[in-house]
Amino acid sequence: MTSLRLVAADHVAGVIYVIEPRTGRTLARLDGRHLAEHAGFLHLGGARLAFVDDLAGELVVLDPFAAGTGDPLVVATAPVAVPAEHLAADPGGRYMVVTSGCGRAWEPWSDLLTVVDLTPETGAGEAVRPRSARVRTRVGEPGVTVLTDRAVQAGGADDLLVLLRHRMPGALDAYRLSHLLDAPPGCPTAEPLTRLPLPDDGHGDAADPGTGQVFAATGTGVHRARLGRTGLVAAPPLAWDTPGRDGGRGYYLRLDPARRILWSTVRGGPGEPGEWPLWSNDAWWHRLDDATTGRVPLGPGLVFRLAFCTGRVVFSRIHPDGDELIVVGAEDPAVLVRVPLPPMDDAPRRGGTPWDGVQRRAVAASPAAPLVAVTRGGHGQIHLLDISAGTDLRTLDLPTPFEEGGHMAMIGTDDGSAGDTVGR
């Protein structure tokens, strides 16, 4: 049986819990760590997790399986620019990139980008500690991916490209990672090696290290580019519309590396945030190897992030008429189970936005197990569901409230999650 750890962050309270999800036992508690919720957790090789502490201005690498053993839970830290917006790693998990966003401001104000080498070369007898460098790029909230440049065979940082997805004006900018790491002090401006135009409304990024493709979700579809020998080469975008289902767009994009399927949540309906209960939501999927695409209706309300468990994809849906956990088949996409969730006090209401000053939910799973976790924001509770054993929820009570829903990651030994190199 695959060993599992659930890492649950109450980012408002500044607490991170490491939980054995099958028993519900809390193995470790890390205080004073405020996870950057939008950047989320990033799965690395060796069953490690990375996140940004937005208050401390640090990248933090955790070994969740060290919890309770006496070994350190935090295995590495490095200074990064905040507020952190997006987080990505190279396919090997040695190099990481952090973009900066709005924070508590309404408009983007920072142009800082941080690159981190977790294991830089050192002299004889010197301790290995992560090295970071900061550069200026463009004010905004850029998405980020890191891919191997197939035109270069130097190894290490020299054969890696950092790809920033910008909005207004939309663009995909490519930088040599080694150039960014070699930046001198003072946060100099970095100019991209190459640029590919995109629509202005990009939101959502994914990368396929196996083929060197990068994907960006926009209003007109999923734009694709490949790292060729002459730079970035665009491919025709993937449409959100499918036979029998049209309209809307995806604001989230994620690669299932095991099955090589792109997933998103396509939102349609009224544009006003106060009318969110009328939004439609579909699970959109695209198989990379056979180029088939489809959509599965999920229901009205607020649906955003998703998670992968054994043979399934799971979503949480928030609606004034009742919340639910939705389980969709991964190989033959269709809704398999809808599980009602206990209501949240201070949940989003009709006429108000579903984001500001209200409670939300986070969802987590591991591709190696049938176990799903979903938070009940404001109540300090996590509901656990074993989809192989029915629809009964088991509830964990934690000592902090998980305002705004918190954030979670479920990690299993050798579960393949590190194949998705973008923070979630």
Summarised one tens digit per residue, pLDDT across range 378-392 is 999 999 999 999 999
**Residue 410: predicted pLDDT:** 98
Residue 153 pLDDT greater than 70, yes or no: no
**Residue 370: predicted pLDDT:** 97
CA distances 296 to 24, 201, 303, 315, 324, Å, are 32, 24, 13, 12, 16
Compute the mean pLDDT over every residue in the chain, rounded to the nearest whole number.
95
**Residue 156: predicted pLDDT:** 81
Please report, for the chain, the start and end positions of each structural domain, with discontinuous segments joined by +. Answer: 4-419
**Residue 150: predicted pLDDT:** 73
Summarised one tens digit per residue, pLDDT across range 23-69 is 999 999 999 999 999 999 999 999 999 999 999 999 999 999 999 99
Share of the chain above pLDDT 70, in %: 98
B/e letters for 385-402, b = 16+ CB within 10 Å, e = fewer, are: bbbeeeeebeebebebbb
Q: Topology of domain 4-419, per CATH?
A: Methylamine Dehydrogenase; Chain H (2.130.10)
> Tokens 């990064």 belong to which residue?
80
Summarised one tens digit per residue, pLDDT across range 83-103 is 999 999 999 999 999 999 899
CA–CA separation, 387 vs 6, rounded Å? 16
Summarised one tens digit per residue, pLDDT across range 252-277 is 999 999 999 999 999 999 999 999 99
* 3-state SS assignment for residue 277: helix
For residue 124, name the pLDDT band (cuts at 50, 70, 90): low
**Residue 4: predicted pLDDT:** 97
**Where is average pLDDT lowest: 72-86, 117-131, 168-182, 315-329?**
117-131
